[in-house]
Structure 1
């Protein structure tokens, strides 16, 4: 994938971008809620700005990569690039602001720390569509976890942070279809998701799903790496990087034998379990059990998203109606500012903010981290 050029994307002026809030700090960048004083003096249209300080440890290349991925995206459950800027000190790019925090925060706000079956089905369906779209572009996400799934103003979800993603050779559609025919199943290609919001949540699924009774909490569907070898960004069939979040990393990533799109389906399974039970399935002493799981037996390995959509858990889901849902399980309030951090003492200059940091310890903690996420280790890397 080529790096973006100044002529084909909106250019920001870092001097006119002022921070309203500090939103969080990740492995590679710092995120602020900002507005452009040149076009939005009254802060009516704030957006999220990710800022990465330039360095020689691979961060520059990953920043360019993430900007390049965002430029390709045009999907209701994925962010769109609002603009970017590159200076001698920083890379920065803007995406729409999501005020509903992340699924980890939202899950922990529930009385018993888990979601109902209906809520899980709704969120998983949207995440599945987002991953399906990424895979159709030849991009494997590799960092699916609750903290990277944000809730938009509309209540629909969006994935974030694409610095661990990479480009892989897409599996031919003929291979997917032939696998379905061989096993007596009709696996259809991706169904376009329409961008409308005119129906209530109960109409996006037809009939009753048998899994509602089998799963606990039959209640309302509402809610109160270290790199192993140096790799380039050229297309390849498999990646050997050790990336992701420890409890979500697939066995083939741990073993270093090479991995492909199936790592996202592994992570989707871990996410499903955590949403239902409040913990991940292979935590602590059970981690070694992951080494013995064959990725070729994994749901979605052969047929991708089409195969997962055929699972009985999604029985009756009308995939083309997801974006038409008017009332998702949770819609952020305009007053939900406590979910995204405290306002800064007046608007601050982003460049001055970084210059004022004398040491990493002076960085305020991310307000998006909940008590349950402090034990979750992110596996980072220095090179792809």
Structure 2
């Protein structure tokens, strides 16, 4: 892996304002430089990973360095909907990197602040468009994201989105033009008319507040685990079993090998959740969830619309028939749901659906009043009982192998 060339920051220069969150890979702190920014006018997010955590079952050091290398690529080739690497530091025990702070929290928190815990179609259109652009840029760099979900979509101070957490991503060689022609079907080049689609119309949920939890239970995250060693001529594919349960594509569940189309599947899951407040295939347990992903069609309320047609095309279980498989983001941008959208003017929108205020920073974490030392924080964590002893874990990682990245 290439050496990180971004500016080095120093741990002793940083003051912690609060903890923004704890994930499967590390802890994210809101910090500021006590010397160059003593009044904390320009705080930034600092993701810190303990390199040899006794309770860690995965190769966290390797995954941390991989995420930094992705952020460096995004810094060299920036995109308005993706983060940049502001700096890093490393000690014998810790490795950390700094990225811009997003005061609006994540898309899941924002959705739960809405009436009925869902977004309007207009708001969905705005956020989906920016996410499509972010994925398009990642794919142009040969990076498949593999962990698209509301918790990984943050709201910038401008109100625009940015993706975060790239430790489950990987690089893939693109498909050749010849392989695209051989694998394509005529119907993939045009959007099917709405009248030709038959969708089951059933009531999948109620929007009554008494039946909706304030926050959904976090879906289990699956670390990369190599599956059978298959050979593909139609572009490079990964055989890793990786992702977050409710958002995993059928080809990942089956172990058939996967490529960039898995991100378009996850986009369909995300879109469905923004519309209905729940994911379409969630079961009582992991086995039932995977069974529904493989076999069950998405269910919609009411009449067919351009939005539900988009979701249906994205949630095509056969990846070669999925919207976005052949021409990537171009196919999705051409869908009728985005008709009339001026893609090149997205960043110039002055009034996105939600613009964070200074008070919104309180929603992103627990205030520690600056009274926490990062090194001491991780020392105290090591003294706590192992989370593996607990029968209930929010972010459990089932697989430990990282032989294929």
Partner of 1:336 in structure 2?
360
Partner of 1:268 in structure 2?
267
Q: Distance in 2 between matches of 1:43 and 1:375?
A: 32
Deviations 1:186-243 (Å, cap 9, x if unpaired)?
Answer: 99xxxxxxxxxxxxxxxxxxxxxxxxxxxxxxxxxxxxx2544289xxxx81111111
CA contact (8 A) 2:183 2:320 kept: no
1:180 is displaced (CA, Å) by 9.2
Partner of 2:293 in structure 1?
290
Equivalence map 1:122-137=2 (5 Å): 122-137=126-141
Partner of 2:170 in structure 1?
166
Q: Distance in 1 between matches of 2:394 and 2:120?
A: 24
Partner of 1:120 in structure 2?
124
Partner of 1:62 in structure 2?
63
Distance 1:75 1:381, change over 3 A: farther
1:242 aligns with 2:234: no
1:22 is displaced (CA, Å) by 0.6
Q: Distance in 1 between matches of 2:187 and 2:246?
A: 32
Distance 1:179 1:258, change over 3 A: closer
1:176 is displaced (CA, Å) by 6.5
Deviates more, 1:29-38 or 1:133-142: 29-38
1:288 is displaced (CA, Å) by 1.5
Partner of 1:257 in structure 2?
256
Q: Distance in 2 between matches of 1:27 and 1:228?
A: 15
Determine helix, strand or coil for the equivalent of 2:31: strand
Determine helix, strand or coil for the equivalent of 1:92: strand
Bigger RCO of structures 1 and 2 (CA < 8 A, at least 6 apart): 1
Q: Distance in 1 between matches of 2:128 and 2:269?
A: 11
RMSD of aligned residue pairs (Cα, Å): 2.7
Deviations 1:8-57 (Å, cap 9, x if unpaired)?
Answer: 21001112122110111000100000011232122111100000000284
CA contact (8 A) 1:245 1:376 kept: no
Distance 1:179 1:322, change over 3 A: farther
1:338 is displaced (CA, Å) by 2.4
Distance 1:359 1:311, change over 3 A: farther
CA contact (8 A) 1:155 1:329 kept: yes
Q: Distance in 2 between matches of 1:10 and 1:177?
A: 44
Distance 1:67 1:333, change over 3 A: same
1:140 is displaced (CA, Å) by 0.2
1:295 is displaced (CA, Å) by 1.3
Determine helix, strand or coil for the equivalent of 1:356: helix
Name which of 14, 17, 23 aligns with 1:20: 17
Deviates more, 1:128-137 or 1:291-300: 291-300
- For structure 2, which runs of at least 5 residues remain unmatched after alignment? 192-221, 229-234, 296-316, 388-392
Q: Distance in 2 between matches of 1:306 and 1:360?
A: 49
Partner of 2:195 in structure 1?
none
Q: Distance in 2 between matches of 1:278 and 1:184?
A: 29
Distance 1:227 1:357, change over 3 A: closer
CA contact (8 A) 1:226 1:243 kept: yes
Name which of 106, 111, 114 aligns with 2:115: 111
- For structure 1, which runs of at least 5 residues remain unmatched after alignment? 188-224, 364-373
Q: Distance in 2 between matches of 1:381 and 1:250?
A: 20
Deviations 1:57-91 (Å, cap 9, x if unpaired)?
Answer: 41111111000000111100001110011211111
- Equivalenced residue count is 330
CA contact (8 A) 1:100 1:150 kept: yes
Partner of 2:231 in structure 1?
none
